[in-house]
Amino acid sequence: MNGSLEPMQINSSSCVQNQKPSSLLIRKATTFCICGSKRSSSCDKNQPKSQCCCTSERYEGVLTVYDPSAHIRCDGCVTGRKPWKDQCFGQTSYCLAQSGVLCRKGTLYKYRDDGEVAGGTHPSPEQHYCGRELYLPEEDICCQGQRHAKNGNSHCCGGEAYNISDPKKKCCAGRLYNLTGQSGEKYYNCCGSLLQTVESVCCSSEFNEVLYSKKSGFGCCDHQYFNASLWSCCAGRLSPAKNQNKSINESKLLSINNLNESDLCTKMQIGTVDSVSLNSIVFRDVLEIHGRNATMTHLALPHILKTPDCCSFPKLTPGKIYFFDGKNVFADFIHDSVLQSLYFIFSKCYGP
């Protein structure tokens, strides 16, 4: 530029990123300084050329003299220039490469003290972290230390954010998939962090989910995929086959995350398994969930789920919490707590 100036408005709506450290107000200026959007060269002839002066618009009539190599002037305020700290935002000087600096909607946010020691942070009472970044809870969502702008019914999937109401998005154990095809999520299920299609089979127990290629004459017994001509399954246990049945007896623990919306959002129960017999399962502390209305109802008496074909039910552990309806028992393999599971159901069914 050969010493020329490129003044920029300090209230510019753009937040420059990844720019090499250089002033938004002064570039290679040794005899000029900027007052607002004006340029002045009215330096006293007796002053060194390395200094410049101007009349501040904010303090009209007051002559300010400063050395641009040692100071920076932001909206009439002169402060000491620190290494690479030569950007202006209103009266505040900062550097775009500073850790913990965030410019959002015309406001500059800083959450690091100048005297901060390495590894330490000193937030103000009004500021929040997402990892090592400042974030605004009203506008952002924090996913495993990664900040994202909220977009619709935003939820976290690992470190990514997605709209839970979008049928083209599927979150499987912290891994986000973009679905294809007209049927969207109706065509795909989760099997752990993997995506299951109609060409594959997911066999699941309380602690494992395993994806297999679909084969004729095979079935699931908990997380194992067995050859029905050699083995038979009952309540998650395999035993040598005694006779050749045309039908395959299977048992696997289903996931609420793979239920379609009509099944997930209608009435279902959640409770703790109290005891298991050949013909029934007793649940205590039962709540009835209405996902569509985002409500729960307390059921006073223990609930008994009839199991006329006990072999088709998976192995259940007394003292553990499960979801169930009139026919099946479900677990949540993706979320870490019952609260997260309920929040998932209400978000999926009721929306924001």
Burial class (CB within 10 angstroms; exposed 0-12, middle 13-18, buried 19+) of 181? exposed
> Which residues are within 8 A (CB) of 339 and not within 5 positions of it... i.e. 6 or more apart?
none
Predicted confidence at residue 103, as pLDDT, reads 56
CATH topology of domain 255-349: OB fold (Dihydrolipoamide Acetyltransferase, E2P) (2.40.50)
Q: Counting every residue, how long is the chain?
A: 352
The tens place of each residue's pLDDT in the chain, 352 residues long, gives 444 444 444 444 444 443 333 333 333 333 344 433 344 444 444 444 444 444 333 334 444 566 777 777 776 677 776 654 556 655 555 554 455 555 555 556 555 444 443 344 455 566 788 988 888 888 999 999 999 999 888 999 999 999 998 888 999 999 999 998 655 556 789 999 999 988 999 999 988 999 999 999 999 999 999 999 999 999 899 999 887 666 788 899 999 999 988 899 989 999 999 999 888 999 999 999 999 999 999 988 889 999 888 888 888 999 999 999 988 999 998 888 999 999 999 998 986 5
CA distances from 164 to 79, 182, 249 (A): 47, 18, 35
Task: Kindly state the tokens that stand for 273.
Answer: 């398994």
Task: Give CA–CA dist 316/329, Å, rounded.
Answer: 9
Task: Give CA–CA dist 165/189, Å, rounded.
Answer: 16
Predicted confidence at residue 56, as pLDDT, reads 38
DSSP annotation of 251 reads B
pTM (two decimals): 0.62
Tell how far CA 307 is from the center of its chain: 39
Burial class (CB within 10 angstroms; exposed 0-12, middle 13-18, buried 19+) of 270? buried
Predicted confidence at residue 345, as pLDDT, reads 94
Q: Please give the helix or strand (H or E) that residue 274 lies within, else none.
A: strand 267-276
Q: Which parts of 47-153 are beta strand (E)?
A: 52-55, 63-66, 71-74, 77-80, 87-89, 92-94, 101-104, 107-110, 128-130, 133-135, 140-143, 146-149
Predicted confidence at residue 123, as pLDDT, reads 52
CA dihedral 344, 346, 350, 352 (to 10 degrees): -70
For residue 115, how many other CB atoms are within 10 A of its CB?
7
Burial class (CB within 10 angstroms; exposed 0-12, middle 13-18, buried 19+) of 27? middle
Task: Give CA–CA dist 184/265, Å, rounded.
Answer: 18
Q: Are 155 and 164 in contact (CB under 8 A)?
A: yes
For residue 227, how many other CB atoms are within 10 A of its CB?
12
Task: Give CA–CA dist 312/233, Å, rounded.
Answer: 8
> Where are the domain boundaries for CATH 2.40.50 in the chain?
255-349
Vertex 220 angle, CA 219 and 222, to 5°: 165
What are the helix (H) ranges across the chain?
261-264, 338-349
Vertex 92 angle, CA 112 and 15, to 5°: 85
> Which residues are within 8 A (CB) of 208 and not within 5 positions of it... i.e. 6 or more apart?
222, 223
Predicted confidence at residue 248, as pLDDT, reads 84
Q: Are 112 and 99 in contact (CB under 8 A)?
A: yes
DSSP annotation of 340 reads H
